[in-house]
Structures are given as structure tokens and as C-alpha cells.
Amino acid sequence: MVLDPDEAGRARAAAETERRTQVRRAAFASVVGTSIEWYDFFLYGTAAALIFPRLFFPEASEYAGVIQSFATYAVGFAARPVGAAIFGHWGDRLGRKATLIITLLLMGISSTLIGVMPGTAAIGLAAPTILVALRLIQGLAVGGEWSGAVLLAVEWGDQKRRGLMGSWPQVGVPIGLVLGTGGMTLFSAVLSEEAFAAWGWRIPFLLSLVLVAIGLFIRLRILETPMFASVVETKGVARQPVLEVIRRHPKEILLSAGLRFSENMPYYLFTSFVLTLAVDRGFSQTFALSAVLVAAALELVNIPLAGRLSDSYGRKRIYMLGAIAMGLIAFPYYALLGTGIAAVAFIAIVISLVPHSFQYGPQASLIAESFPTGLRYGGAGVGYQLTAVFAGGPAPLTAAFLLHQFGTAYAISGYILFSAIVTLLCTYYLPDRSKADITDDATYRVGGRSS
């Protein structure tokens, strides 16, 4: 059957309208989903700094309690590459949409259970044991979430604006931080210290159920990405995608992990460990939480801005500028916190996340573009999440040790400077495919063979 020109034109217009609708839905779903995942993940970080030492490790000294609490915090990071491998396998076999629904449910359920957990005084050693198990599930879920949310946006969007599209799920991180930290700030401010420690901190965890219901509704309305649908149609789905991407693209995986050092590690110092440090410097919990909240709100603008700039000037150029800026602020940041002046410390905390934004904005596309469509979920996810084990997860724990060992926060500054050097080297050696056609597997061929 041959359509007349008018009918053909209407069909093309309808198809384009549907495509644009799906692009908007994909971008919105990726933002909402990652916001919920990171809301839950960051709640734990805040509680680990303020509540868990006394609740789950009451017999430990103040220093030992903080160390033990941040150790359980690190468990979630150790689980993230495992989650990336597990869900990367299914994301590259079953598709992005189905996998993302599972990760969202896992995160919501585990966070809600943390919100109703009794402490060590009530059930003994079972309390920290269960806490670690639930934190492990959180890590698995967020490990599988990131690459799926990024691919949902990047593979649906305009390929000339992949930097901007890839930045939208990244915006979910500051949104999650704003919601999580905002919730803790609100209840910390309106409740007495005793009430907040007894039950007020639990309310933000329980609200996770409501957010998960909203996220599920949105994600169920989107379609599979056209890039992955094409792989399925041409029977290009790999049997063991994670093993295959490790065999074919080890360089890209390792460089993707390395380039995240100065983005990932300092971020958890600036948003989680700073809560402990600020209180130690004489500031209130509410003051520290409020400053982190403003810093996260500023990222809502800076992350998409950096993503858009990477479309014009290249991912690597914008990313490396952010890494250099991170290295430059390492020593001034702790010097300003050490003044004990509230206004100065507040400004230092707010500005600390600006270099992070200019790495995090283009980061999603920079990493995702390094892998072919059929192996992209697993490759991007494993590369991204490996950093959590060596950088983000141990960051608060290492910072607490350095501060205790050397007696000065400048030891932490040196730690941040080292991370910036690692990032610059790895980013330099990763190919920049900002302008490449990532729908074509020939993009990833080297020397006439599949790379």
C-alpha cells in the first residue's frame, strides 16, 4: 500500500511528535528516577554522620563511632560495581526500562526498612548487621541505576546535544541531595536534639515509599530506547555483555573509573564528611546542612550548563577544567573552614561543589560514548561504579583517619590534589567521541577490528 503525499506527511509528523514526546519523557524519567535513588543514598550519608554512631555503636568512643559508622557507609560503595555488573548484564540483554524499574524498587524498599530499624540498645549486634545488609542492597541498586538512567536520556535524545541530555540524569544527584539534606535539615531545625535523634531522622527514610511510587508511574510510561531496540531487531544482543565489554574495552573501563577520582572522592568530603568536620569546628548541624543544601541547589544550574558547554567545546576540555579547579580549591577550602567565621565557612561549602559540577555535567556522555550500544549499559556502569570502591566510598573514612593522624585538615587537601592529578591523566588518555556517531559500531573499531 502506497500512501499519498499528504498521508505520508501526516505520518511523518505524527512519528516526529511521538519521538519528541518520548525524548521529554525519557529525560524527565531519568531525572526523577536518579533523584529518588540518590535521595535515599544521601539520606544514609547524612544519618551516618549525625545519628548512626550513637544509635548503632553506642559503646564506642566518639572517634571510633564515627569510623564504624562511615565504614557501614562505605559498604554501599563497595556494592556499586557489583550492582553495575549484575544490572549491566540485564540492561544490555533485556533493555534499559525493565532494569531501571527493578533498581528503583530495591532502593525504595531498603531505605524504608532502614527508617524502621531499631538500634543496638534494642536488638544488640543484629542492628548493625541488618544495617550493613540494607546498605549493601542500596549499593547494588544505585550501581545498576546510573548507567540505565543515563542511557535512557542519551539514547533517546538529539545526538548533537548528548552532553546536555546526559547531564539531566546527573541533575538527579543534587536534587536527591537537596531533598535528602533538606529533609534532615527541616527535622533537625524544628525538633529538639533528643526528638530528632530518637525518631525525627526516620521520617525522611519513610517518605521514600511515596517517591518510589511516583518514580514507578513515570518510568512505566516510557518506551525502550531506539538505539537498544535496533540492537534487538538486528539480533545484536550479546549473550554475556559484561564479560564481553571487559574483554573488548578494558582500557575504556579503567580510564572511565580513573577520570572520576576528582569528581567522586571530594564530593563525599564536601557533602558528608563536612557535616562531621563543621560540628567539630563549632558550627551547628543545621548550619552545616543548610550550607550543603545551598551548594546542591547551585548544582541544579551548573550541571546542565557544563553538559551544554561540552556539546560546543568538547567533553574532555570542560571536564579537565573542572578537575584543575578542584585541585586549586583543595587547600583554600579547608583554610576557610578553619577560620571559624560562619559566613566564610558557609561560602566555602557552597563554592566547593562548583568544580564538581563542571566534571559531573559532561561526565555521563563522556563515559557512555566510550562503549558501543550493545555493551553500553554494562561498560559505562562498571567503569563509573568502580571509582566508588577506591574513591567515593572510603573518602569520609580516609578523611577521618587523616585528620586524626596528622591533626590538620590540610592532609585532606593533599588527598584531593592527588585525586585531581589522577583524573587529568585518565581524561587525557580517554578518546573524545563528542562528535562521533555512537549508533555505528564502526566508531569503536581500531585497526580494522572491533575494539
Distance between CA atoms of residues 380 and 424, nearest Å: 19
pLDDT on residue 73: 73
Domains identified in the chain and CATH numbers: 26-236+248-438 (1.20.1250.20)
Q: For the chain, 451 residues long, give each residue's pLDDT as a single digit of tens.
A: 555 666 666 667 766 777 788 888 888 888 888 888 788 877 887 788 778 888 888 887 777 777 788 788 778 888 889 999 999 999 999 888 889 899 989 988 998 999 999 999 999 989 989 999 998 998 899 889 888 999 988 988 778 899 999 999 999 888 988 888 778 878 888 888 889 888 999 999 998 888 888 888 888 888 888 888 888 888 888 889 999 999 999 999 999 999 999 999 999 899 888 888 888 888 887 888 889 889 989 999 999 999 999 999 999 999 999 999 999 999 999 999 988 899 999 999 999 999 999 999 999 999 999 999 999 999 999 999 999 888 987 888 899 889 989 999 999 999 999 999 999 999 999 998 988 888 876 677 654 334 4
Distance between CA atoms of residues 451 and 443, nearest Å: 9
411 neighbors 278 (Cβ within 8 angstroms):
no
pLDDT on residue 7: 65
Residue 446 backbone phi and psi in degrees, to 5: -130, 125
And the C-alpha cell for 176? 536527591
Integer-rounded Cα radius of gyration of the chain: 22
Q: Give residues with Cβ within 8 angstroms of 5, minimum separation 6.
A: none
